[in-house]
Structure 1
């Protein structure tokens, strides 16, 4: 169940049925699946996908770039655009994929918006 729903999310499909579209715009999640009617808006994929995307892009692109001496020997006017443009493109391409995976994970773990009370406590009482 975990793998199947995460793979469906990676493909941008409903984690429940795998047929309906997950997004109706770049990162806007469909309120309901067009195929099975599953409520897709109830999964709290707020900052998680952005953090995972930064982690992946940082390790796959920035890390290996630092091994090449040309990065720290070349003029800044060349290095900045040559690194920042691919970083921005990779981040923008990867973010919807990671968000779909994250929503698939939330579906598999059965975590919904109204589960926030589980993560808070009233210690001051």
Structure 2
């Protein structure tokens, strides 16, 4: 005689809200948006599937092209402002100095900002339960499927 037990899951109709600002701060520090301790990335821009500290599922993230877009937007405004300020206070600076400084600042600032912005975007998606994060609590708590008869 075979007995099977079905696991009854309570429907998640009104999930508890996740705090946005703490999640964004943790994401900017490239930490798990849930606990703030585990690292979000295992490589430069590769997001861990699960938080190494609390086990929160992070594989739902869909950052795609948004982090580079936001990075370009910020870097262009910062470097453009710096260039205009430089020209205002030192208009006779040699062109070789511009060729040396501005591409270097642009590349370094972009490389530094990109993972921070991606972390914040993943945390934003987590906080608003976007792109699969809405079912993350339910999916992570599922029992192993029972074998059929």
Figure out how many residues of one structure are paired with residues of the other and give that number.
Answer: 115
Q: Say if 1:12 and 1:97, in contact at 8 Å, map to a contact too.
A: yes
Alpha-carbon offset, residue 108 of structure 1: 1.0
Task: With the length of structure 2 as denominator, give the TM-score of the two structures.
Answer: 0.68
Q: Secondary structure at the match of 1:38?
A: coil
Q: How does 1:1-125 map to 2 (within 5 A)?
A: 1-69=19-87, 74-112=93-131
Q: Secondary structure at the match of 2:130?
A: coil
In structure 2, distance between residues paired with 1:68 and 1:33: 44
Larger radius of gyration: 2
Alpha-carbon offset, residue 101 of structure 1: 0.8
Structure with more of its chain in helix, by fraction: 1
Alpha-carbon offset, residue 73 of structure 1: 5.1
Q: Say if 1:65 and 1:71, in contact at 8 Å, map to a contact too.
A: no
CA offsets per residue over residues 93-115 of structure 1, 9 Å max, x none? 11111111111111111111599
Gaps of 5+ in 1: 116-125
Gaps of 5+ in 2: 1-18, 135-149
